[in-house]
Structure 1
Amino acid sequence: MSLKDKYAELISTANNLGVTGLQVREQDNVLYIDGTTKSSADKEKLWDVYGKIDPDFRAADVVMNITVAAGATTEYTVVGGDSLSKIGKAYGVTWQAIYEANKDIIKNPDLIQPGWKLKIPTA
């Protein structure tokens, strides 16, 4: 079985997510997957699929060079006790960056509500 066959689900997922510049090549018993995703969430989906195929990441037969497109965002749902600075710290961005990305929702950066879906810019 070739590595492309072994990781067919991962390659298919990358295609379905619209990974741009997707390149898949097999060299010296290693499968190299390169490309750019639209969001951090899409990148995580690829790692989740890889984790299903090789749960302990022991095969060491895949190198994924997947980057997130500049200006990409991750969606976050506000929970009780959250603040923009707390969310920003968790994602490695400033509260101001989150506020700027969500001005359509947030009128006062000191008042956010549980259940709101915020766009978190990538760091």
Structure 2
Amino acid sequence: MTAKAKYQEVLDLGASLNIQNGDVKEENGTLKVWGTANTPYEKNLIWDKIKAIGGESPSDIMADIKVADNSVYHRHTVKSGETLGKIAIQYYGKASKYQDIFKANSDILKNPDVIHPDQELIIPNA
């Protein structure tokens, strides 16, 4: 199996995240990938996928993923049925971090219990 075939899920994820200026080369059994993710969260998704496939320190892939916007962790579009607590779990692993999301969006949110589908929320850096 080639390194490119082994890490195809990483390449597919990059495409679905619309990684900019991305490219892939395979040299001497090592896959070299690079590009620019929109946010640190998206960069972390790429690295999590690499580690899930290749382990904590994979030797058959070299990735140089830059981030276009480091001012926020991510920008999240609210889906029906979501709460700030559920969104906090998705990005931070803790529902209690909902307060950080609420504070970062106090310009559009007046009550942490009231969010609406299609609102774009800033997910602040931890």
Larger Rg, first or second structure (1 or 2): 1
Structure 2 residues without counterparts, runs of 5 or longer: 75-86, 89-93
Residue 92 (structure 1) aligns with:
none
Cα deviation code 1:66-114 (max 9, x no counterpart): 0110365224739658987xx9xxxxxxxxxxx7x6452478xxxx969
Structure 1 residues without counterparts, runs of 5 or longer: 88-98
- List, as ranges, runs of 4+ consecutive aligned residues in structure 1 with deviation greater than 3 Å: 75-84, 112-118
State the Cα RMSD in Å: 3.4
Contact 1:79/1:115 (<8 A) preserved: no
Contact 1:71/1:121 (<8 A) preserved: no
Residue 30 (structure 1) aligns with:
30
TM-score (norm 2): 0.61
Give how far 1:32 is off.
0.8
Q: Sequence identity, in percent?
A: 27
Distance 1:7 1:80, change over 3 A: closer
Residues in 2 aligned to 1:50 and 1:60: alpha-carbon distance in whole angstroms: 11
Distance 1:121 1:82, change over 3 A: closer
Kindly indicate whether residue 62 of structure 2 is the aligned counterpart of residue 41 of structure 1: no
